Amino acid sequence: MTDRVVDDDGEEVEREQEVAVARRSPEQRQYLEDSLTQFWAASDRIFQIAGAGHDDEARAEIRLSLQARQSALSTAVARLLVQNNEAEEQTAQEVQNVYIAVQRRVYLFLAATLVVIAATGLYLMRSNRRLFARLAALGDERRELAQQIITAREGTLQEISRELHDEFGQLLTAIGTMLGRAGKKAPADSPLAAELREIGGIAQTALDRVRGLSQTLHPSLLDDLGLDSTVEWYLSTVERQLGMDVTYERTGTPARLDQMTRVHVYRVLQEAINNVARHAGTKEAWVRLHHDASGLRLEVEDHGRGIAGGGRRGLGLVTMRERADLVGGAIQFERPDAGGTLMRFTVPASAT
């Protein structure tokens, strides 16, 4: 029985050494083992003495030897427990210090990350501000350049229109007058009179075409009669020249438009009608011109193939958008329920 208990105590001592926080020195381990060995040796002697019938001697041995060894063993165990508690406290403090150090490093890393993010954000904000300012400047330069190009183009077309109207128109008018005087001098039923009348008709036809071309290049009607009357005249020429059936609808009270706004609206209408004639594959179109307090709205609709979904980005469409931008307006291309294309050009009241 005693041997079994001794073996168990030996195993417990070894297990305590394995799990103990404090590291035992060889002297401490040896002292503990010797104390246990002496305690159990004294216990064996006492059991032997008691077994031989010497109870009084066994009791005296317990008081003199066993209790002293038990007290020494308890003192050693208590000292080891205190040392182990101190080691546990020291280990806990070291763990706490490590945790604090790791926490401090994490905070420093987060702070550095926030600083880097803030610096990067500020840099990107400044870069974006400079980029947007540059883009705005480029946009202003583009609009100014577009304005200059369109103004130069309109000036050139106006000059050509004036030359056609004044020079060629007067020349053809003079030819027609001369042919008329010559025809009066020839006998009415003579071949010469018939030829002169035929030549006069050709001259008149040429004069009408020159005047029509002059108005197409730069309609003086815009300056004389305004936008609405010019649109009516233009659509009538479109029906004659292109064979298109154009339905025109005007609503609202016409507003007073400045010269360049009238020109831009007229040119957008021309380009839209040309797109219908070239790409829509139909001879029918609807034009609506509406005036109200918000401004002006021009719509050109067809039910042909359309250009809204065709991905066309020709110079004509680009010019239309440039003209809309110059008057502060907007152009939209939609597909009506019946198919085709609906071009909607809006001009705000501030531009009228």
- 129: burial class by Cβ within 10 Å (0-12, 13-18, 19+)? exposed
pLDDT for res 9: 46
* Distance from the first to the final alpha carbon of the chain: 118
User: What is the rounded distance in angstroms from the CA atom of residue 341 to the CA atom of residue 278?
Assistant: 13
User: What is the rounded distance in angstroms from the CA atom of residue 247 to the CA atom of residue 284?
Assistant: 8
Note the pTM of the prediction, 2 decimals: 0.55
- Please list the residue range(s) of the chain that carry CATH number 3.30.565.10: 226-352
- On whether the CB atoms of residues 272 and 235 are closer than 8 A, the answer is no
Q: pLDDT tens for residues 249-307?
A: 999 887 778 888 888 899 899 889 988 888 888 889 999 999 988 889 999 999 988 66
Using 50, 70 and 90 to split pLDDT, how confident is the model at 1? very low
Span 94-117, mean pLDDT? 91
Give the domain 226-352 fold: Heat Shock Protein 90 (3.30.565)
Phi, psi of 24 (to 5 degrees): -85, 140
More confident residue, 183 or 98: 98
pLDDT for res 136: 84
DSSP 153-205: HHHHHHHHHHHIIIIIHHHHHHHHHHHHHHHHHS-TTSHHHHHHHHHHHHHHH
